Amino acid sequence: MDDRQLLRYSRHILLQEIGIEGQQRLLDSRVLIIGVGGLGSPAALYLAASGVGRLMLCDHDKVDYSNLQRQIIHRTATIGQPKVASALAALREINPEVECVALPIRADEAKLRELIAQADIVLDCSDNFETRYAVNRVCLALRKPLVSGAAIQFHGQVSVFDFRRDDAPCYNCLFPEDSEAEELRCATTGVFAPLVGIIGTLQAAEALKLLMDIERGLNGKLLSLNALDMNILRSGLSKDPSCRACGESLLAARRVKQ
């Protein structure tokens, strides 16, 4: 780190839990953010400001008027631009040292494999179950830690699945894909602006700690937030032995090892 970096990151370096070593790890790390909307906005802003070395942003959407109420990385002037381009411009202004990669695509499972393989950690900031299940499967297969977030109306949640560990539960253990969970969308049900800010910021916090191997936080836990009562509930998650995603894949991994 040069003098300018030591100054830029000095308030991190002062923290006993981070120090120069922890900050250097952030500078050397690569993060993939899937979705640059309500959750991805604050997550990307904090990760870039914190000095994550390489930030990959994946989103196929364009900035719309109705996004600006909560997607704080975008500007009125960037309406109509791809969200990843709009985000990139904002991130460069905050921290030009971060290498930002804009991926204006809707990633299918094969593409996700390619992208996730290049990342140390993945933040799922998407807004649909299809993407969440696909990201979970690929992170599991490639053993990449996943920080998952969701927010709708006044309810939000965050979980961390550290697939580097054999005993990690997965997103599918928590919400089985075959369940009849209804997909609610902001466009029809609404979402409280600061809620996505809180949840996306929690995702950034968990991601930074994982990158620095600080083993405290939401790993294997579910944090649920009700922003109306401002009630936060933290509950433990356990691996579902019959989970269709991680139950089978673990068996397959063991077979390969033998």
Positions that interact with Zn ion (CB under 5 A): 170, 172-173, 243, 245-246
From the CB of 141, what's the least distance to Zn ion, in Å? 12
DSSP label of 155: E
Burial of 142 (0-12, 13-18, 19+ CB in 10 A): middle
From the CB of 148, what's the least distance to Zn ion, in Å? 12
CA distance 251 to 255: 6
Q: Which two tokens stand for residue 69?
A: 């109420």
Q: Which is nearer to Zn ion, 26 or 245 (CB)?
A: 245
Q: Which of 139, 170, 186, 246 is catalytic?
A: 186
From the CB of 98, what's the least distance to Zn ion, in Å? 33
Q: Which is nearer to Zn ion, 163 or 192 (CB)?
A: 163
Active site residue 186: yes
CA distance 184 to 197: 18
CB-side exposure of 59: number of CA atoms within 13 Å? 28
Q: At what angle do helices 83-94 and 40-49 cross, to 10 degrees?
A: 30
From the CB of 124, what's the least distance to Zn ion, in Å? 15
Please report where in the chains the tokens 């204006």 appear, as a residue.
Answer: 104
Task: Answer whether 33's CB lies under 8 Å from 125's CB.
Answer: yes
Q: Which is nearer to Zn ion, 138 or 173 (CB)?
A: 173
Q: Which is nearer to Zn ion, 121 or 170 (CB)?
A: 170
Which residues are known catalytic residues? 186
